[in-house]
Structure 1
Amino acid sequence: MAAVIGIAGAAVVAFLVIGNGSGPTGPRVVSSDEANRLAVTRFRNYQAGGRAVTITVPSAAGGLVVTGSIDYRARLGYGVVHGTGRDTSSGGLIEWTGATVFVHPMADIPAAAPASPPGSGWYSRSLQTTGSALDTSLAIALSLGSDRPDNAALLPQNGATWTGQDRLDGHQVDVMTGPDAGAKPGTAGSVRYWIGSDGTMYRVQVDVASEPQPVVIDFGTGEYVPVRPVPGVSPPP
């Protein structure tokens, strides 16, 4: 399903149920309707142009939280990083593409990134494809948009499952697992999606090879604020 870097293992939660546990439980193979919603969920993000996101990155030192937005058409993310626990020295602004990460360290970190990135003070580096929970999380988040739906007919064949129901921010959602990039057989369960009745993506949870805890990506339902490139940097074509 989503193009994910560094995914390993099955999802942490075996199943979820709503309310007092009286509802249906899983896991089971997705129904036709569920497969259709799973197939369009990344396309919904692309159709929207972009989404507000909160990315919770696991770390033995306490973890990081990235709050911002992703432009799924330009494939460009932007936000502010806050450290948690002992990992409080990595805060500041961040912007990223599929190949490059731009960081702007700050001593006084704002709650939200300014609408226009600062004109100076940025440092760039290549996005690491292995060994970095932050970079893996950024790549995962960026991959959750696609300019076309996935093939719904292939999802059940490749092991996609419905695992239960949940509520997020007042929205009734179904929780489903899907395979990783290219819908390869044998990879079901590596990505867990919280999906609404119209295919809207509300949360994604992914196990990453470098950390015992999963990456969690929550999508805001408010108005999307377009991402502006760091001055002098063009988004990828």
Structure 2
Amino acid sequence: MTPDEANRLAITRFRNYQAGGRAVTITVPSTAGGLVVTGSIDYRGEIGYGVVRGTGRDASGDGLIQWTATTVLVHPMADAPATAPSTPPASGWYRRPLQKSGSSLDSSLAIALGLGSDRPDNAELLPQNGAARLGHDTVNGHPVDVMTGPDARARAGTADTVRYWIGSDGTMYRVRAGVASESRPLVIDFGTRKYVPVRPAPGITPAR
């Protein structure tokens, strides 16, 4: 990994914070069929919001979803829309703690929320901790470098190293990470739609 590559990896989470928020599509692995969360994450307020859709048995959980680092709110809908309404419904939410383990959905939500930081990482330490460049790729027309982040096995919810697809200016376009107990990784795609500012559902307080 060159110094330039290490610098881009070091600032990629900070880029998300600088942007305020990003549009995301989170593909969650599941033995019951799989889930896709389509929405936005406010990296300054540390809150995500969107539509969750499933296939197979997971389709029973379709609806709206909003989450923070500690809480998940779900709003079941028999016919979930393609995009979440800009203003969350005033009622009909079910609240529960975000599970630290045992749920591929909650692990995926926590990992996605953690992809923002109010300061860059230490570029000099990244290669020492296992970060490396794997090669080139293209994501939605953007040329990117594929890099592995530091060893993530000690982080909650991840089973292996995390891969980042990063542009020449440090912009994050895709992240892939292993999820404990699942054979397939979760995939987070950024920026395929316009970011819509996240408005808190009743009872949710953003970090800032």
What is the TM-score of this pair, normalised by structure 1?
0.83
User: Can you list the C-alpha shifts for 1:193-233, whole angstroms capped at 9, x where unaligned?
Assistant: 00000000000000011211001000015432110000243
Consecutive unaligned residues of structure 1, counting only runs of 5 or more, are 1-29
Q: Which residue of 2 aligns with 1:134?
A: 105
Alignment of structure 1 residues 1-237 onto 2, 5 Å: 30-180=1-151, 190-237=161-208
Instruction: Determine if contact 2:44/2:207 at 8 Å carries over to the other structure.
Output: no
Q: What's the CA shift for 1:85?
A: 3.4
Moved more, 131-140 or 222-231: 222-231
Superposition misfits of 4+ residues, deviation over 4 angstroms:
none
> Residue 168 of structure 2: SS of its match in structure 1?
coil
Question: Larger C-alpha radius of gyration, 1 or 2?
Answer: 1
Change in 2 beyond 3 A, CA 1:128/1:105: same
User: Can you list the C-alpha shifts for 1:47-68, whole angstroms capped at 9, x where unaligned?
Assistant: 0000000000001111000000
Q: Measure, in 1, the Cα distance between the counterparts of 2:121 and 2:5.
A: 13
Moved more, 168-177 or 79-88: 79-88
> Residue 89 of structure 1: SS of its match in structure 2?
helix
Q: Measure, in 1, the Cα distance between the counterparts of 2:22 and 2:151.
A: 21
User: Can you list the C-alpha shifts for 1:86-106, whole angstroms capped at 9, x where unaligned?
Assistant: 421110000000000000000
> Residue 144 of structure 2: SS of its match in structure 1?
strand
Q: Identity rate of aligned residues, in percent?
A: 74
Q: Measure, in 2, the Cα distance between the counterparts of 1:178 and 1:109.
A: 35
Q: Measure, in 2, the Cα distance between the counterparts of 1:130 and 1:228.
A: 27
Instruction: Determine if contact 2:131/2:151 at 8 Å carries over to the other structure.
Output: no
Q: 1 or 2 for the larger relative contact order (CA 8 Å, sep ≥6)?
A: 1
> Residue 46 of structure 1: SS of its match in structure 2?
helix
Moved more, 113-122 or 81-90: 81-90
> Residue 55 of structure 1: SS of its match in structure 2?
strand
Change in 2 beyond 3 A, CA 1:74/1:180: farther
